[in-house]
Structure formats: structure tokens, C-alpha cells
Amino acid sequence: MQITADAHVTLRYAVALDSDVAPDSDADGQVTEFICGRGQILPGLETKLAGHNEGERVDLTLTPAEAFGEHDPALELRVPFSDFPENAREVLKPGMRFRGPHPADAAKVVAFTVTAINGDEVVANGNHPLAGKTLRVACEVLAVREATEEELSGGGGCCGSGGCGSGSCGEGSCGSGACGSHEGHDHEHGHEHAEAKGGGCGSGGCGCN
């Protein structure tokens, strides 16, 4: 069966930066499942997988625009502790994340990762770790079938193990563990790390919002 809209796909994939050794889905691959056309994986990857058949192996290149976007200097912030809840100084550590408005568009909420604590300021970055990077993705289409009504309605799990999504189902990544908000910032206890080599093509896999 061919990958088309609303098809349920089981995919083995491995990811590397364009400058690294070519990824090997057999040696380094992770397996994930998704429903085509439902925003559960990177749109650029989904577009390039469409039309391929069960059993095919595909080597793809994703530009930053097709993957995690270009690096945005505006998302590198220095936020005073006064903008956080009172307990933030004791709780926030490098690697933790908080939600806040995009500096150029307050209507957009961005997940920022704390990179350092500098005196009375929190140094944070809202760019995805792979922003600005060209990715090479080795894929093997393990199975393609029609999605069930339950899966199409959102009742079936499609997280897979790893996933190529831009969201996350991990602890603390979709609002779990929020410590309250102040001046437009929430902070979370969850840690999230994305790796290019031998890891996921993103930070999770279910497209949680």
C-alpha cells in the first residue's frame, strides 16, 4: 500500500546532520508510527514520504525550512528572575524549559530552554536544537495500512518510540509540571534533549500542543 492521506504508517528512521556520516536505519534506526496528513511528523518529511510504498527504503535530505526552521536570534533571551514565580530561583536550572511569548509576536507561545543562570537573569533559547540545520534521514517504510476510525478521531495512540514530530509527549513538555506563571512566563520541570545522530528527528513524536 502507498503512503497517502490518512494512511497509518510504521516507519524506521535514522537521522544525522548533513555534515555527519550518512545515517543507517538498520544500525541506528528508531521506529515510529503516524497517520499521514495529520501533522504528527515534520511536514517536510511527511511530504517527501508521500507516494512511497510499504517495504521501500528512502534516503532524504531536509533543509532547515523543511525541518526545524532557521535559527532565530530573537529567540535568544535574557529574562530577569522578577518575571518568574517567587520560587523560580530555587527551581530553574540549565536544561529546564519555560513557556513565554515570542519577542516579535506576543500571540505566539514559545518553549524556551534555560541555557545558563547569570546572576539575576535566566539565559534562555527558544530555538529548536536542530534549527538552522540540514538533516539527512534514512527511512524504511515498514508497514502502511488504512487508519482505523478510532485512530482518525484521535483515540488511537500514534506516538511510536521516538517520533519525528515537532512536539513532544514527554514529561513536562506539554504543560505537565508547570509551576505557575508570572509576566507571561510559565516554567516546567521536564527536560527535553534532541539529538541528531542516533536519535529522533525532533523532540518527541505526537505533536502535542
Domain map of the chain by residue range? 7-68+130-167
Q: What phi and psi, each to the nearest 5 degrees, are found at residue 8?
A: -90, 125
pLDDT of residue 12: 96
Residue 207: what residue type? G
Query: What was the pLDDT predicted at 149?
Result: 94
Q: Are 11 and 34 in contact (CB under 8 A)?
A: yes
b/e 60-72 (16+ beta carbons within 10 angstroms → b): bebebebbbbeeb
Q: What dotted CATH number matches 7-68+130-167? A: 3.10.50.40
How confident is the model at residue 18, as a pLDDT? 86
Q: What is the pLDDT of residue 171?
A: 31
Containing 25, the helix (H) or strand (E) segment is helix 25-28
Per-residue pLDDT of the chain (209 residues; tens, 9 = 90+): 999 999 999 999 999 998 888 888 887 889 999 999 999 999 999 999 999 999 999 999 999 999 999 999 999 999 999 988 888 889 999 999 988 899 988 899 999 999 999 999 999 999 999 999 999 999 999 999 999 999 998 755 444 434 455 433 233 322 223 323 334 555 554 433 333 333 344 333 322 22
Alpha helices, DSSP H only, in 73-170?
Answer: 88-91, 149-152
